[in-house]
């Protein structure tokens, strides 16, 4: 079981996205991001990304490629259509810890300190992205532009949520006149196993 990082209590997790209307009575297609789709209905009120609206589910059922959901106060197709593409969030505290030690919520990773293989500080995790080839951590260094790091065991061998840090298989840049450079050659990370030698 993964410990939650300090300060994660106020974090939110995106659990679903509202799709097109379904029928005439206000139902919508709902695309769940949870491992078990129907789990979306067990987390209580859902909140829009900008926190402007809260949604209470009144019904939820499985369909072929999505869920079919109804929300309190949404009674016709026009009202349902106005909800299309809204992403729905719940507080991280409502969600169970992942059972797999190698599975993490994005909300638990954002803000973690990133250390290099040499033990020196590289930066912090700014965001997690997936452009189709797997998850990438966007790292904010102490100075300079952010950069991407693959979120794989080879590239990130240590994730310590309790200590709010992770270790990347790259080296921290040497300090030069108070300025820092991007870490050494993230592109040279091994694809399978092994490590990165810091020099």
Residue 159 in any domain: the answer is yes
Residue with tokens 């974090």: 11
Contact 59, 65 (CB under 8 A): no
Residues 84 and 149 in one domain: no
Would you place residue 171 in the very low, low, confident or very high pLDDT band (cuts 50, 70, 90)? Answer: confident
The DSSP 8-state label assigned to residue 164 in this structure reads T
CATH code assigned at 128: 2.30.30.240
Q: What Å distances lie between residue 39 and 15, 77, 79, 185, CA to CA?
A: 9, 25, 25, 41
Residues 51 and 121 in one domain: no
Q: Count of domains in the chain?
A: 2
Q: What is the pLDDT of residue 190?
A: 32
Contact 107, 97 (CB under 8 A): no
Residue 32 in any domain: the answer is yes
CATH code assigned at 30: 2.40.30.60
Would you place residue 193 in the very low, low, confident or very high pLDDT band (cuts 50, 70, 90)? Answer: very low
Residues 6+ apart with CB under 8 A from 140: 123, 124, 125, 126, 146
Interval 115-128: pLDDT, tens? 998 889 999 999 99
Last residue of a domain, one of 42, 72, 93: 93
For the segment 162-188, the average pLDDT, to the nearest whole number, is: 62
Q: What is the pLDDT of residue 79?
A: 98
- 50-54: long-range contacts at Cβ-Cβ below 8 A with a sequence spacing of 24 or more? 53/86
Residue 66 in any domain: the answer is yes
Last residue of a domain, one of 93, 127, 158: 93
Residue scoring higher pLDDT (3 or 29): 29
Residue 193 in any domain: the answer is no
Residue scoring higher pLDDT (105 or 29): 29
153: domain range?
A: 106-188
Residue 3 in any domain: the answer is no
Residue 135 in any domain: the answer is yes
Residue 39 has pLDDT above 60, yes or no: yes
Q: Residue 133: which region, alpha, beta or left (left: phi > 0; alpha: psi -120 to 50)?
A: alpha
Residues 82 and 156 in one domain: no
Q: What percent of the chain has pLDDT over 90?
A: 56
3-state SS of 14-59 is EEEEEEEEECCCCEEEEEECCCCHHHHHHCCCEEECCCCCEECEEE
Residues 89 and 110 in one domain: no
> Based on C-alpha coordinates, what's the Rg of the chain?
20
DSSP-based three-state secondary structure for 195: coil
Interval 43-52: pLDDT, tens? 999 999 999 9
Interval 51-70: pLDDT, tens? 999 999 999 999 988 999 99
């Amino acid at each position: 079981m993964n410990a939650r990082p300090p300060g994660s209590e106020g974090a939110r997790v995106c659990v679903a996205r509202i799709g097109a209307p379904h029928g005439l009575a206000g139902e919508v297609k709902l695309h769940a991001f949870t491992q078990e789709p129907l789990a979306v209905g067990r987390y209580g009120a859902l909140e829009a990304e900008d926190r402007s609206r809260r949604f209470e589910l009144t019904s939820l059922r499985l369909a072929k490629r999505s869920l079919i959901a109804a929300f309190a106060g949404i009674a016709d197709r026009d009202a349902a259509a106005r909800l299309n593409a809204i992403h729905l969030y719940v507080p991280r505290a409502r969600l169970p810890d992942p059972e797999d030690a190698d599975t993490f919520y994005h909300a638990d990773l954002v803000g973690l300190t990133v250390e290099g293989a040499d033990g020196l500080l590289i930066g912090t995790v700014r965001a997690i992205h997936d452009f189709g080839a797997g998850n990438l951590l966007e790292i904010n260094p102490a100075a300079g532009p952010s950069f991407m790091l693959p979120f794989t065991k080879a590239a990130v061998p240590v994730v310590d949520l309790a200590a709010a840090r992770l270790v990347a298989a790259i080296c921290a840049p040497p300090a030069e006149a108070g300025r820092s450079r991007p870490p050494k050659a993230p592109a040279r990370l091994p694809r399978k196993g092994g490590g990165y030698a810091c020099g």
